[in-house]
Amino acid sequence: MGSISVSTGRRVGAVASIFLGLAALSALGPASAQPLRGPAAPGPINPSPEQAVQLRRALDNAPLHGFAPGAFTPRGTDNAALVAASLRYAKAVHSGRLPESGFRDDWGLRPEAFDPTPGLAAAVANNRVQSWLNSLPPPYAGYQVLQKALVQYRELQTAGGFSPMPEVDLKPGAVGPMVELLRARLAQEDKAAPESVAMLPPGAPVGALATPVYNEELTEAVKRAQRRFGQEPTGVFSAGLRFQLNVPVERRLDQILANMERWRWLPQSLPEHRIQVNIAAAVLTVFEGDEATMSMRAVTGKPGSETPMLRSTINAIVLNPPWNVPAGIAKNELLPKGRGYLASAGFRILPGGGLQQAPGPGSALGLIKFDFPNRYAVYLHDTPSKGRFASYSRLASHGCVRLEKPMALARHILADDPVWTPEQIDATIAGGKTTRATVQRPVEVFLLYWTAYVTRDGGVNFRSDPYGWDTLLMQRIAAQGTLA
């Protein structure tokens, strides 16, 4: 499995902190620089010739941020056309290309309002145009490493794309030309893949030709590839890995571009004490400053019951929580099972007609729930069903996020609380009474959808876009056409 560490980076050169094995939270982090802003100029913005060169260079280099060549070509030759193009570029690279109407309802993470005009006016007036340009993109290592991945995969596209893998399964010890084909395909994305797997059998006569062998080095390369795609690292080449290797390079480029776009939806600085969930990889990571201090597997929403992207704050932890069943789940999944089942599982029908499950070890919420305000009625919680955490496919909930180690997370959040010591938490749970523990140091939580990210070893990780949000985002960006 893979774990993104949406670990933090502090501007260019910062290293994304990634927890292996728990693959999926590609690097978020606090930023020190803010886009230059200032009062709007009293008249037209008139960059000097030197400043005009800096602006034109940024527009020419827009493809480094995923934009099409010529996307911001000035619509004229005068300064006014250059300024207009620069403002279009600034808005796109800082806040993204979607209008408010382009966001799905469950894309609850939205870019902050941004008007680049005052910033450009101040930059021109103070002769700080290059500094202003540098401040525009997301100031996070997670974005910057995706820029490098964009270059890598564009080069692969120019070279002709990926070598297709036929429907042949291979395992360690196999020999023959298919083994060499697999080695060559892995080497297209993995710089650590072996340069050769050709070997002579023991006792081979002089002049014999070496034969490609599925050796230990190739087995390790297969395991690395499986981890990069969020699969169990068995070292055996079969249908699951073959499917991922046969995804066209153009599709991988779209995933990189979609994730770069989502980085632009984040605020320019992030709270140092925070929790991040990568929905697509089903991994939760806790951050203190720039350090990832805890990571665990999660279960996130299955397609059709998507976990939304959002930002909120955990303000309370509920011990022994009852479960107020959403109406749709009650009607479609539980009530048809009959009153006998409902009674045996601790459910009761409320006076208003709702369905509630009593707290306890068998409750769907387990023994603990983490509350944070949001309009989607989702939260983090425990679960009595632990088996799913052993799976590499963990999109199975109705939208909430189930946690592998909820008690460890609760103790971390309440660590400085003199009342809610680990002993008090345990005693309260053992007592069975529903109790709400207010968090004295609220912690922000981000639910994010990362399907392309780079780990500290430089490997580009991909997930299969389980909700189809990469495809939809790229379609909606394309529908915008030429940026106005």
pLDDT per residue, tens digit, the chain (484 aa), is 333 344 334 333 333 333 333 333 333 433 334 444 444 444 689 999 999 999 999 999 999 999 999 999 999 999 999 999 999 999 999 999 999 999 999 999 999 999 999 999 999 999 999 999 999 999 999 999 999 999 999 999 999 999 999 999 999 999 999 999 999 999 999 999 999 998 766 666 666 668 999 999 999 999 999 999 999 999 999 999 999 999 999 999 999 999 999 999 999 999 989 999 999 999 999 998 778 899 999 999 999 999 999 999 999 999 999 999 988 899 999 999 998 999 999 999 998 889 999 999 889 999 999 999 999 999 999 999 999 999 999 999 999 999 999 999 999 999 989 999 999 999 999 999 999 999 999 999 999 999 999 887 778 999 999 999 999 999 999 998 744 3
Paired tokens of 203:
């006792």
Q: How many helices (H) and strands (E) does the chain have?
A: 14, 16
Cα dihedral 257/261/266/272 (nearest 10) = 10
Residue 410 to residue 25: CA distance in whole angstroms: 20
Residue 382 to residue 13: CA distance in whole angstroms: 37
User: What CATH architecture applies to the domain 162-247?
Assistant: Orthogonal Bundle (1.10)
pLDDT at position 201, please?
67
pTM: 0.87
φ/ψ of 460, rounded to 5, equals -85, 120
Residue 86 to residue 45: CA distance in whole angstroms: 11
Catalytic residues, by residue number, are 381, 400
The beta-carbon contacts of 389-392 under 8 Å, at least 24 apart in sequence, are: 389/297, 389/299, 392/1, 392/230, 392/231, 392/232
pLDDT at position 210, please?
80
Angle value at C-alpha 450, between 70 and 471, nearest 5 degrees: 55
Q: Where are the domains of the chain?
A: 1-28+255-319+359-478, 49-138, 162-247, 323-353
Cα dihedral 182/187/188/190 (nearest 10) = 120
Residue 227 to residue 24: CA distance in whole angstroms: 10
CB 371 within 8 A of CB 379: yes
pLDDT at position 11, please?
36
Helices (H), 353-467: 406-413, 422-431
pLDDT at position 456, please?
74
- Give residue 230's identity as a one-letter amino acid code: G
CATH class of the domain defined by 1-28+255-319+359-478: mainly beta
pLDDT at position 461, please?
96
Residue 199 to residue 41: CA distance in whole angstroms: 71
Q: Which of 139, 109, 111, 142 is nearest to 312 (CA)?
A: 109
CB 356 within 8 A of CB 347: yes
- Give residue 76's identity as a one-letter amino acid code: G
- Give residue 187's identity as a one-letter amino acid code: A
Q: 59: part of which helix (H) or strand (E)?
A: helix 49-60
Q: Which bin fits 361, alpha (ψ -120 to 50), beta or left (φ > 0)?
A: alpha
Angle value at C-alpha 267, between 112 and 470, nearest 5 degrees: 85
pLDDT at position 200, please?
66
pLDDT at position 174, please?
96
